[in-house]
Chain A
Amino acid sequence: MGYKAKFRVWRGEGGEGRLEDFTVEVNEGEVVLDVIHRLQATQAPDLAVRWNCKAGKCGSCSMEINGKPRLGCMTRMSTFEESETITVTPMRTFPVIKDLVTDVSFNYQKAREIPSFTPPKDVKPGEYRMQQVDVERSQEFRKCIECFMCNNVCHVIRDHDENKQAFAGPRFLMRIAELDMHPYDVADRKESAQDEHGLGYCNITKCCTEVCPEHIKITDNALIPMKERVVDRKYDPLVWLGNKIFKRSS
């Protein structure tokens, strides 16, 4: 049942590092994260990796396995040939702290830039009434486990640090869509999505949707509808006229 697998794992810190080769035991039913843990327990006690739930629910163990962004806990060893060398590297878009652990503070910063849920002032807790069909759209986006692999894979920032300032990334553009589709949110999010959070940078290549471990249709259900809402607002002739008439003084 068990066999010896060949692993190449990126090791390093402080901007320097290299791929290190390991030969390690693999047993039936195991996932890549199990193998990383075996390396820690037997060969490399200080090998750094993030993980928590080991069940695909917390989004901590994001890494790149043979170049593809994956959760280590949900990548079964049986998907590889026994003879294959498996290369495990940290997420590329974020600076490496050590080994497989990256500095993901970019994401927390962006999260703080999105104005929070804004309910009408006169609705008290306990008075919210919403239909299932109306909450389901935003619920899809709230499945997000914040593994940040969508932001990691997005070409707008993957090899373009200079875009990070202006672009919230699929995760947080989806958060804007989630709030915009929330039945009780009253904030206007359309213009800021475009002007402040960089929705326009997205050219819908759907890389984010492809890597999402929760299978959220980020592009089709969040980003494209959000783009359409922005366009409706910006180019609607009535809105244009209204803006001309009522905002002239400002």
Chain B
Amino acid sequence: MEIERHEYDVVVIGAGGAGLRAAIEARQQGKRTAIVCKSLFGKAHTVMAEGGAAAAMGNVNPDDNWMVHFRDTMRGGKFLNNWRMAELHAKEAPDRVWELEAWGALFDRTKDGKISQRNFGGHEYPRLAHVGDRTGLELIRTLQQRVVALQQEDEKLHGDPEAYIKVFAECTVTRLLKDGDAIAGAFGYWRETGKFILFDAPAVVLATGGIGKSYVVTSNSWEYTGDGHALALLAGAKLINMEFIQFHPTGMVWPPSVRGILVTESVRGDGGVLRNSEGRRFMFDYVPDVFKDKYATTEEEGDRWYTDQANNRRPPELLPRDEVARAINSEVKAGRGSPQGGVFLDVSSRLPAAEIIKRLPSMHHQFKELADVDITKEPMQVGPTCHYIMGGVEVDADTGAASVPGLFAAGEVSGGMHGSNRLGGNSLSDLLVFGRRAGEGAASYVNGLAKRPVVAETAVEDARAEALAPLERSGGENPYEVHHELQRTMNELVGIIRKAEEVSEALEAVEKLKERATHTASPGGRIYNPGWHLALDLRNMLLVSECVARAALLREESRGGHTRDDYPKMSPEWRRRLLVCSATPDGAAVSVEERIQPSMRGDLLALFDRTELSKYLTEDELAEYDAVKES
């Protein structure tokens, strides 16, 4: 059978914010670049990001700067973050946001005409550049239109708009191909026709987003099947921090069919409060020790903070997401939940109706259309939903390079930047900063190559056989059923609160599902056959779920997006240790090993005070700090 074949310098897998920013950079560096994405161009999950992009521009509060942003990010991640990534992110985010404006983005404005910035959980100052509550859409559209602008330039110069950057939409990559140790290309299929496609390329940038579709209750779209995570593992790269999954505190809880859909944190950033069935603002009861001096202790102080941040502390509704999600979970378990199994999120009693519609238009629309709730008149009911994975491909902070030569990763599929918990708003800025860096990293890697790698034909044949298998079996397992069972397993046993027995049980279940997944059959032909596509995605979801569960079982502490009922405390010893997953090339076996994380550079360490650090670091690490401070 004929396989369509293309030659590129850089292949970017994924067309969300990170992928598009990487592709734009690679093309701007003169590389012939392909963007391969599972959906139509412009539909990626980034469109669902609501709140904004965090960047310390200091437009609203001039005291903000990269150092404050860096500190907030490290605190939010409970100091497990790759500090170099957190540093680059905080320093470069403003430039990345301003650049979007030069490409046509229209952010909301301050009175003096600058980009407006809003408050968000864990950020000391108003920091999120935004457009109402549809910031992600603005980002995607701007980057999409930037790609089109580059294509128009190429048309003028070369007579072909797709000479240097081309989008392969509704195209799924199922295998990365290598020449020896190094990346040589990627194999996949067109969703529309079912025909196979092969990219010969020395560099691949993974920008495939997250893994939420392994859970029942999730804010993620169908695309989030951990493809990049799995492709990297199967190509010999390593994943870190896979145990850390962010459950966003506020997802819709009713009606059942929309359970999990996101309710933006901006509701709280703009004044919304959380209440239990007794009407109590319960977040005041859940401020953890490490944050005690930074949050208001009374409702009055919290309310004053919205207008006077210099003299008041922020309300505890704006704690980092992991804290709020656990608090909601506890309230519901204690029987103080709302009738539909969540808690109340109320903005109706806090802002005038017109203001709510102006600031939160898509929330107003979403609740009205999907739940018959008018958020200007009554509270919403919300509960935690699987939202984001902090873990991902282990990469070099400066270039996005993975351990496999020629492989790069950026955005949610990469790991390290957010430590054990991501702050809201740090995702959109992350994908701009590291999307650009990965695109640049890939381009300079290609520049440094003496010769182009060559794809091994046997690997192409294996990839083809693997992809065809579900179509060729008849009377096998229904892939939809295997998927539903995986989602239930992960949701119930490796969810927001974890226990050793339950995680072990999940691992056994995943093992059985892996076996069942090898027998799935997809009736129908090759043209746009969702049952077939799902059967192929299952391999990735199962592999990634196994990594999550294995790492979750090993980490015997609670930190950020990993809460162990049997080890409720945060441990300084564990803070230094990263769990690193790798897999055999067939994906049959996953192994996890511990690695010590390098100590933070002295000048960055010196940005914190000793009292704060003593809550996170070991005695040995504190001695390093004392030495830095003395010198």
Binding site for B on A (CB under 8 A): 13, 27-31, 34, 40-42, 45-60, 74, 76, 97-99, 101, 103-104, 108, 111-112, 115-117, 119, 123-126, 128-132, 135, 138-139, 142-146, 179, 182
A49, A104, A123, A139 interface centre (most CB from chain B within 10 Å)? A139
Q: Quick check: A126 and B222 within 8 Å, CB to CB?
A: no
Residue B278 interfacial (CB < 8 Å): no
Q: Closest B-chain residue to A26, C-beta based?
A: B257
B45: chain A residues within 8 A (beta carbon): 52-53
Given contacts A98-B528, A125-B95, 13 further A-B contacts (CB under 8 A): A13-B528, A28-B256, A46-B530, A49-B530, A50-B40, A53-B221, A97-B528, A116-B146, A135-B106, A135-B107, A142-B141, A145-B47, A182-B106
Q: Closest B-chain residue to A46, C-beta based?
A: B524
Q: Quick check: A76 and B221 within 8 Å, CB to CB?
A: no
Binding site for A on B (CB under 8 A): 39-45, 47-48, 94-95, 98-99, 101-104, 106-109, 112-114, 116, 131-132, 134, 137-138, 141, 145-146, 148-149, 151-152, 161, 192, 221-223, 254-258, 261-262, 362, 365-366, 369-371, 478-481, 484, 522-525, 527-532
B532: chain A residues within 8 A (beta carbon): 46
Q: Closest B-chain residue to A49, C-beta based?
A: B530
Q: Tell which of B106, B137, B370 touches A74, judged by Cβ atoms closer than 8 Å.
A: B370
A60→B254 CA distance, assembly (Å): 23
Q: Quick check: B530 and A98 within 8 Å, CB to CB?
A: no
Q: Closest B-chain residue to A124, C-beta based?
A: B102
Decide yes or no: A45 and B109 within 8 Å by CB, A40-B480, A58-B43, A146-B42 being known contacts.
Answer: no
B95: chain A residues within 8 A (beta carbon): 125-126
Decide yes or no: A97 and B113 within 8 Å by CB, A56-B369, A143-B134 being known contacts.
Answer: no
What 8 A-B pairs have minimum CB-CB distances, sorted nearest first? A29-B255, A46-B524, A45-B531, A117-B104, A129-B113, A116-B149, A125-B98, A48-B528
Q: Quick check: B109 and A56 within 8 Å, CB to CB?
A: no
B98: chain A residues within 8 A (beta carbon): 125-126, 128
A40→B480 CA distance, assembly (Å): 8
A192→B42 CA distance, assembly (Å): 25
B481: chain A residues within 8 A (beta carbon): 41
The prevalent SS among residues of A at the interface is: loop
Q: Quick check: A31 and B47 within 8 Å, CB to CB?
A: no
Closest approach, in angstroms, between the C-beta of A238 and any C-beta of chain B? 31
Q: Quick check: A128 and B134 within 8 Å, CB to CB?
A: no
Q: Quick check: B106 and A142 within 8 Å, CB to CB?
A: yes
Q: Quick check: A45 and B221 within 8 Å, CB to CB?
A: no
Q: Quick check: A116 and B48 within 8 Å, CB to CB?
A: no
Closest approach, in angstroms, between the C-beta of A94 and any C-beta of chain B? 12
Decide yes or no: A112 and B530 within 8 Å by CB, A57-B362, A58-B221 being known contacts.
Answer: no
Q: Quick check: B43 and A138 within 8 Å, CB to CB?
A: no
Q: Quick check: A112 and B258 within 8 Å, CB to CB?
A: no
Closest approach, in angstroms, between the C-beta of A218 and any C-beta of chain B? 16
A56→B367 CA distance, assembly (Å): 11
B522: chain A residues within 8 A (beta carbon): 45-46
Q: Closest A-chain residue to B101, C-beta based?
A: A128
Q: Quick check: A48 and B480 within 8 Å, CB to CB?
A: no
A164→B417 CA distance, assembly (Å): 47
Q: Tell which of A112, A129, A138 touches B114, judged by Cβ atoms closer than 8 Å.
A: A129
A112: chain B residues within 8 A (beta carbon): 148, 151-152, 161
Q: Closest B-chain residue to A144, C-beta based?
A: B141
A139: chain B residues within 8 A (beta carbon): 106, 131-132
A30, A57, A117 interface centre (most CB from chain B within 10 Å)? A57
B43: chain A residues within 8 A (beta carbon): 52, 58-60, 146
Closest approach, in angstroms, between the C-beta of B521 and any C-beta of chain A? 9
Decide yes or no: A55 and B262 within 8 Å by CB, A60-B39, A125-B102 being known contacts.
Answer: yes
16 A/B residue pairs, CB under 8 Å, sorted by A? A41-B480, A45-B522, A45-B523, A45-B530, A46-B525, A52-B44, A52-B47, A57-B137, A58-B221, A60-B39, A74-B369, A119-B104, A125-B95, A125-B98, A131-B113, A142-B131
